C-alpha cells in the first residue's frame, strides 16, 4: 500500500473556504438592497400593467400601479427608482415637443411617486428618444443625417428644469451630447434648483443590448428603428480610453454620479472609471443583459437566482457603487430572506 502523497505548503487558500461561516467572514463584495435602483416603465391612462414580451417579469405601469410598486420597493429596502415613459405614438413628432409639456407623463409620474413614497429617490431620463418619431435621443440636423448636438442640448436643459420643478432628485442625461452636463448644471442652478443632482450616462456605449428597452418605451417602433444606429453620439464598444475622456469631461462639468452602460459586458470600463474618480459610480445592467439571463433560465440552461446574483456581484465587484437593474425587486426579496 503506497504512502499518501503530502504537499509541504505554507499557504493553503482552501482553509478559508472550508465552511460556510469561514466563507462569509472572508467575503469581499457584499450586495445589498440599498445598492439597487429599479428602472420602471410608465404609461398613461387607467389600463392595467402591460407586459413587455422581450423582458419577462417587467411591465409598463399606470400611475396608480407605479405608486404601488414604489411602495413595495421602498419596503424591501430599494432606495431609488428611474422612470421611463412609454407615450402614445400619436404624441410623437420629429422634435419630441411633448417632452416639454407641463403635463408630460413623466412629470406626473414623478409627482405620483413623491406623493406615495416621499422617501424614495426618484431619477428621470433626460433624452428625447421616447418622444421622437425617428427614435433618436435628440433633434436631427436639417438634412436628417445626424443629431444636432447644440440644439438638442438646449432642449435637454429645458427638460431638466421641468423635471426638477416636478420634484425629481436626480436628472439622468442619457443622450451623450457633447457639453450637456455643464449646460444642464447651469440651467438647474439658474432656475434655483442647486439641490437637484445629475447622474450622467457618461460612458454609454452604442450597444446591441438595448433592444428590449426600446420595445418597452416604444422607440423601437418609431419609423422601424429597432436596429437604429446611434454611433455618432454613443461610444464605440471597442474604445476604453474614449470612455475615460467622457468620464473626465462629465466630472469637470459638474456631474454628481458617473454611469457606465451597459454593465456586464463592460466590467473593465467600470473598474477603469472606479480607479479614475472619487465620484460615486453607477452601472446599468441593461435590458438585453436581463433578457438573456431570463431566456437561458426559461430554457433550463442556467439557474435564474444564482445567475442574477452573480451578475450583480460582478458589477459591484468591478467598482460600481449602485446598479440599475430590472432584477432589483427580486434581488431585494432574496437578500432580505
Question: What are the catalytic residues?
Answer: 204, 261
Q: Is 324 helix (H, G, I), strand (E, B) or coil?
A: strand
Q: Which residue has the cell 413595495?
A: 72
Compute φ and ψ for 129, nearest 5 degrees.
-60, -30
Angle between helices 304-318 and 287-298 (to 10 degrees): 150
Among 173, 186, 143, smallest CA distance to 259 is for 173
Asked whether 165 and 101 are in contact (CB, 8 A), the reply is no
Q: How far apart are CA 207 and CA 175, in angstroms?
A: 14
Other beta carbons within 10 angstroms of residue 40's beta carbon come to 24
Q: How far apart are CA 118 and CA 106, in angstroms?
A: 17
HSE-up of 187 (CA within 13 Å, CB side)? Answer: 21
Angle between helices 149-166 and 105-116 (to 10 degrees): 30
Amino acid at each position: 500500500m503506497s504512502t499518501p502523497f503530502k504537499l509541504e505548503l505554507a499557504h493553503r487558500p482552501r482553509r478559508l473556504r472550508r465552511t460556510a461561516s469561514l466563507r462569509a467572514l472572508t467575503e469581499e463584495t457584499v450586495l445589498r438592497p440599498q445598492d439597487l435602483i429599479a428602472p420602471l416603465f410608465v404609461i398613461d391612462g387607467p389600463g392595467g400593467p402591460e407586459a413587455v414580451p422581450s423582458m419577462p417579469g417587467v411591465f409598463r405601469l399606470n400611475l396608480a400601479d407605479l405608486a404601488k410598486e414604489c411602495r413595495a420597493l421602498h419596503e424591501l429596502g430599494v432606495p431609488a427608482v428611474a422612470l421611463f415613459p412609454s407615450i402614445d405614438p400619436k404624441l410623437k413628432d420629429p422634435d419630441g415637443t411633448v417632452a416639454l409639456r407641463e403635463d408630460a407623463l413623466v412629470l406626473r409620474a414623478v409627482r405620483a411617486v413623491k406623493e406615495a413614497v416621499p422617501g424614495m429617490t426618484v431619477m428621470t431620463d433626460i433624452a428625447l428618444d421616447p418622444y421622437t418619431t425617428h427614435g433618436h435621443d435628440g433633434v436631427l440636423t436639417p438634412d436628417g443625417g445626424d443629431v444636432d448636438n447644440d440644439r438638442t442640448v438646449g432642449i435637454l436643459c429645458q427638460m431638466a428644469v421641468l423635471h426638477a420643478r416636478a420634484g425629481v432628485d436626480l436628472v439622468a442625461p442619457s443622450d451623450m451630447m457633447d457639453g450637456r452636463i455643464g449646460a444642464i448644471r447651469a440651467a438647474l442652478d439658474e432656475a434655483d434648483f442647486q439641490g437637484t443632482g445629475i447622474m450622467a450616462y457618461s460612458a454609454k456605449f452604442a450597444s446591441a443590448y438595448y433592444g428590449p428597452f426600446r420595445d418597452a418605451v416604444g422607440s423601437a417602433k418609431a419609423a422601424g428603428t429597432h436596429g437604429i444606429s446611434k454611433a455618432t453620439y454613443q461610444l464605440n464598444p471597442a474604445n476604453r480610453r474614449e470612455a475615460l475622456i467622457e468620464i473626465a469631461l462629465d466630472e469637470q462639468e459638474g456631474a454628481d454620479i458617473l454611469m457606465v452602460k451597459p454593465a456586464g459586458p463592460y466590467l473593465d470600463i467600470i473598474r477603469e472609471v472606479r480607479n479614475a474618480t472619487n465620484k460615486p459610480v453607477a452601472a446599468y445592467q441593461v435590458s438585453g443583459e436581463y433578457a438573456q439571463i431570463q431566456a437561458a433560465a426559461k430554457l433550463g440552461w442556467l439557474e435564474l437566482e444564482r445567475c442574477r446574483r452573480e451578475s450583480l456581484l460582478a458589477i459591484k465587484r468591478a467598482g460600481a457603487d449602485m446598479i440599475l437593474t430590472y432584477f432589483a425587486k427580486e434581488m431585494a426579496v432574496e437578500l432580505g430572506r
